[in-house]
Each structure stands twice: as C-alpha cells, then as structure tokens.
Amino acid sequence: MIVLHGYTGSGNCYKPALAMRQLGVDYQWREVDILKGESRTAAFLAKNANGRIPLLEVEPGRYLAESNAMLCYLAEGSALLPVDRWARAKVFEWLFFEQYSHEPFIATIRFWVAIQKSAEAQAAKIAEMRPKGYAALGVMEARLATSAFLAGDRYTIADIALYAYTHVADEGGFDLAGYPALRGWLARVAAQPGHVTMAEAAAR
C-alpha cells in the first residue's frame, strides 16, 4: 500500500491525500513532525535528500518527493489530468504558479502565524511577503471570474494544488472578502465528489 509521509496541517501533504481519496487509491498516512525536526534526520534524508514532506512511498523503498509531482503521478490517466495537450499545459501552468508565486507567500505566512506561532519574530518578512500573497490571489481571482475551475471548465489537480493553501489562507491573516470569484471556487472545490478536509485526509 502507498505510504504518505506527511505532517497534519500541511497543505502540501493534503494535496496528494485528497487526490488519492478522490481517485479511490488507498494509502496509509505516516506522521512526520517537522516541528521536531523529523524531516531532517539522517533516516529521513536517506529517503528524501531535500529533507521535505510530503514524501510518497509508492512501494517499499521507492520514494517520490514534491507534492505537485505526486499529483501528476497519481492523476495520470484520470479525469483529474486532461489528455488534451493544451488542457494539460494549462494544468501544469497552474501547478508551477502555485509553487513559485503562491505557496512561498501564503503557505509560509500561515506556517509562521498558525503553526509555528512565530508571527512576531517574522513580522518584517510577513509585511514584505503579504502583498505577494495577495498578488497571487489576484491572479486567481481574475481567472476564476471567467472560468469555473483554474485550468478550464473541469476540476483538475490544478484546483487541488491551489485549494490546499488558499482555503486556509485566512489562518495566515489573508482576508478573502475582496475575492468573490475565488470564494465561489473554494465552495465548488469543497463540493466535489469524494472531497475530504485536511484533517480527514491525514486520518488514515
């Protein structure tokens, strides 16, 4: 059975778990406490030299890192990853947007504020990063004003990837009031068949 090494409350870990639930793929969640440095031990580094979670163990000893690579791997051949070349390209575009323009600001601020409780120590960085997080939300809002889902009219792994940290952006102090199309999309994603919450996804 697939083992997902992850930290409960991590949006990156939530992504492959949610995809597996919706794809009907069974998995076992194995908790890695990043606050205790468990992703930086020699044992863990032997599995992923980059020292990060999530880590997908597709069979004993065979590891895949990078949450969005997991989404591509898991969704291949399913409706969550279109076959059409252009539609696929747009899915990839959103996946890379998420890791470069969204996650480093929205997920990082949430981590400091809600998980590590270090907002005061990180105040200067948060102030610098906050506008970049809102800029990413603005790019999503513009797209979702004219499209039901990010990559087109169907739910794909692009939506899973962006939902992971957008739906908890408020925990990092982001106010979504001015993003009505984005809030409508959050509701549509949460209403997808097989959708589970972050906590449910980790309880396996």
Q: Which residues bind a second copy (CB under 8 A)?
A: 49-50, 52, 58, 62, 64-70, 72-73, 76, 85-86, 88-90, 92-93, 95-97, 99-101, 103-104, 138-139, 142-143
> Considering the complex, what minimum distance in angstroms separates the CB of residue 122 from a second copy?
13
Residue 138: DSSP 8-state: H
Both tokens assigned to 184: 């409508």
Both tokens assigned to 131: 């506008």
> Considering the complex, what minimum distance in angstroms separates the CB of residue 99 from a second copy?
5
User: Torsion-angle region of residue 59: left (phi > 0), alpha (psi -120 to 50) or beta?
Assistant: beta
Cis check: omega of the bond before 131, within 30 degrees of 0: no
Measured between alpha carbons, how far is 106 from 178 in angstroms, rounded to an integer?
A: 16
> Considering the complex, what minimum distance in angstroms separates the CB of residue 203 from a second copy?
26
Q: Assess contact for 101 and 133: CB atoms under 8 A.
A: no
Nearer to a second copy, 10 or 68 (CB): 68
Measured between alpha carbons, how far is 12 from 115 in angstroms, rounded to an integer?
A: 14
Nearer to a second copy, 51 or 195 (CB): 51
Nearer to a second copy, 36 or 85 (CB): 85
Nearer to a second copy, 52 or 195 (CB): 52
> Considering the complex, what minimum distance in angstroms separates the CB of residue 119 from a second copy?
19
